[in-house]
Amino acid sequence: MLNDLAAVMPDLRQDPALHGFLKVEGLSKSFVPGKPVFADVSFTLDKGEFVCIIGHSGCGKTTILNVLAGLDTASSGNVFMDGREVAGPSLERGVVFQSHALMPWLTVRKNIAFAVESRWPEWNRAQVVEHVEKFVAMVGLLAAIDKKPSQLSGGMKQRVGIARAFAIQPKMLLLDEPFGALDALTRGTIQDELMAIVRQTHQTVFMITHDVDEAILLADRILLMSNGTEGAGGYSPGGIAEVVTNTLPRARSRAGLHHLPGYYELRNHIVDFLVTRALAGPSTQT
């Protein structure tokens, strides 16, 4: 099935109706007058595409994600999704943060049901129960469905957050380092689960990560972001310095990633950017 999806998805993205599903145009954000954190950030996501953004702390990655989510506003520029301007939060965009953000007094079932009932208030109890259980099963947590967050491990809490985001069937999923606080083994397991679910649902995803291998494993394209810097010529804001297309087979796996031809070249290119160019001032977007 994964090989079939890998073959089909590039063809799907040739459909003009799916191109430019998300459009970010000339985005900038300033907290200090005259010194925008980033400026003139422009990029697109096609429907069904998985895009990661990588950069050092302080470059504005989370601010961009919050603007896409409608949780923050840019100083200038616009964001359009599916032909409509993003203005405020919406259930059309599901968000998963590094902190699971579950309601501690509710069980797994009720945490997800709360979101589902908000999305489809006309549904009866049986419809909600069936839908919730489907997505809890998808992340392998049926045995814990009636437990509260305090009874769950960190990895299980993140699974609940992912299930909740998918359960509202958003048009786009926004992930802010959702695995950053997890141990390596748990992180790898949930990466695999996320990848399988995304391929099954053809979800459009924008994800922040500091993990180069995670980006290479999950993303179709990787946005490399530079920090704002002070130089002899004055202040230069950060921005998207380069857009890297992941040319590795789409049906890749975590275990086999480092065996794929081109993996080390891709990884070394991104690491070189982070080490030598991300903090060195603006670059030309490619």
The answer to whether position 277 is within a domain reads yes
pLDDT at 8 over 60: no
Position with higher pLDDT, 84 vs 253: 84
Reported as a single tens digit per residue, the pLDDT across 135-187 is 999 888 999 999 999 999 988 998 899 899 889 999 999 999 888 777 777 77
What are the DSSP calls for 12-69, one per residue? HTTSGGGTTSEEEEEEEEEEETTEEEEEEEEEEE-TT-EEEEE--TTSSHHHHHHHHH
Tokens linked to 123: 């549904």
Calculate mean pLDDT across residues 27-38: 90
The answer to whether position 255 is within a domain reads yes
Domain count, the chain: 2
The answer to whether position 198 is within a domain reads no
Domain range for residue 160?
A: 100-169
Query: Given pLDDT bands bounded at 50, 70 and 90, which one contains residue 205?
Result: very high
Tell me if 75 sits within 8 A of 30, measured CB to CB: yes
225 and 160 in a single domain? The answer is: no
5 and 23 in a single domain? The answer is: yes
Q: Please tell me the distance from the alpha carbon of residue 225 to that of residue 58, in angstroms, as a whole number.
A: 10
Calculate mean pLDDT across residues 1-6: 32
First to last CA, the chain: 33
Q: Which residues on adjacent β-strands are paired with residue 41?
A: 27
Q: Please tell me the distance from the alpha carbon of residue 256 to that of residue 126, in angstroms, as a whole number.
A: 42
Q: CATH no. for residue 24?
A: 3.40.50.300
Query: Given pLDDT bands bounded at 50, 70 and 90, which one contains residue 281?
Result: low
10 and 115 in a single domain? The answer is: no
Q: Please tell me the distance from the alpha carbon of residue 93 to that of residue 88, in angstroms, as a whole number.
A: 10
What is the per-residue pLDDT for 233? 79
What is the per-residue pLDDT for 272? 95
What is the per-residue pLDDT for 280? 62
The answer to whether position 19 is within a domain reads yes
Reported as a single tens digit per residue, the pLDDT across 75-134 is 999 999 999 999 899 989 999 887 778 999 999 999 999 999 999 999 999 999 999 999
